[in-house]
Amino acid sequence: MVERTYVVEVRHAEHDDEGRFLASIGATGEDYGTNRALTMDTLRWTEARSLPGDSKLPLLLQTAYGYPVGWGLALDFSTMKEPAGGDLSGTYKVTVYPEMIFDRRHALDGCDPLDAVPLEQRDSLDGFREKAASGRPVRIAFFGASNARHGLWPAQVVSALRQAFPQTAISTSVIAYGGEEMRHGRHRFHHEVLSVAPDLIVMEYFINDVCHGRPDETEEAARFILQSIGDAGIPCILLTNNGANPLFSRHGSSASFQRYHDLYRSLAAEYRFAFVGAYGYFSNLHRYGKYFITELKGNMVNHPYGLVDQNWGAFDRVLSNAILKILR
């Protein structure tokens, strides 16, 4: 791991009456996937794009795969503007240094990973709790993509609930298909989810929605599904879970995952459904002495659970504990 210098070239946009600026970014340092290092003589530049309205420009690396990736870093131009508007054109260099040694004081102080996971709208689950406690049979539908179908956390949740409610028959339905997003799930909801008459829906499309990279489409599909769940009067838990290796998706940066985490959170609050934001923990793994790619050992892309090593999946245990905590 070596330091990386971002070189930001800012120029006036031609034939633009609004005085906007365009920025291109080159970066030195490790060129992931090629076993080479980029230098000032071999910079690979991003496509020129307008400065964002908030003047915070994401610092990106243009990969050998033809698309840029980022790690949540940004250059804030707002402090450089004069009151009447300033000339931002020029070359800016920002050098960043990787965290080579983890500061584990946070973890060693006994901090619980669940402290980093927002658990909201708990009262929306009262109906499910009451039915489970009454001894009447309940059914949980896990609705989403591959992490809901193959992950360890659904089984962990159901196993713990069966221990907590030994008098209650708890059944499950898994309506989850690898690679799908909410825009696909909206077409499955009425005939595949409602047909099993669930008492609780746990919805997980987070990772694939992020990597699809169309928040407008995700929000439209999410509103359709959440409104349909509300119309049916079924309690629901909306999840955000782990992130992904940014080298495998042009939309896989931590900033993209945070944007969708915030979107899911706001939609859960608007529709009064429970929210378990486990991405809040994943985005802070470094505070617990963990490295994100190690947590994604399942496939080194976006799966934290073990397909070969079934005992792997430390992140899944945090996610299942978060779900169990909001269900208490």
Spans of all domains in the chain: 4-96, 105-327
- Sign of the dihedral through C-alpha 213, 217, 221, 227: positive
| Tokens linked to 265 | 């959170």
In words, the CATH class of domain 105-327 is alpha beta
pTM: 0.73
- The conformation of residue 13, written as its DSSP 8-state character, comes to P
> Rg of the chain over CA atoms, in angstroms?
22
Residue 117 and residue 132: Cα distance in Å, rounded?
24
Q: What is the pLDDT of residue 53?
A: 64
Residue 199 and residue 185: Cα distance in Å, rounded?
18
Tens-of-pLDDT digits for all 328 residues of the chain? 568 999 999 998 877 667 688 999 999 998 877 778 999 999 999 999 888 766 789 999 999 988 898 878 889 887 775 544 567 889 999 998 765 455 666 666 678 899 999 999 999 999 999 999 999 999 999 999 999 998 899 999 999 999 999 999 999 999 999 999 999 999 999 999 999 999 999 999 999 999 999 999 999 999 999 999 999 999 999 999 999 998 888 899 999 999 999 999 999 999 999 999 999 999 998 888 788 888 887 788 888 876 556 666 689 999 999 999 999 9
Which strands form 49-50's sheet, in the order they lie side by side? 49-50, 21-27, 4-12, 90-96
Q: What is the pLDDT of residue 102?
A: 59
Coil vs helix vs strand at 207 = helix
Coil vs helix vs strand at 251 = coil
Q: What is the pLDDT of residue 24?
A: 96
Using DSSP bridges, classify how beta strands 274-277 and 119-120 pair: parallel, antiparallel or unpaired: antiparallel
Q: What is the pLDDT of residue 73?
A: 87
Q: What is the pLDDT of residue 117?
A: 97
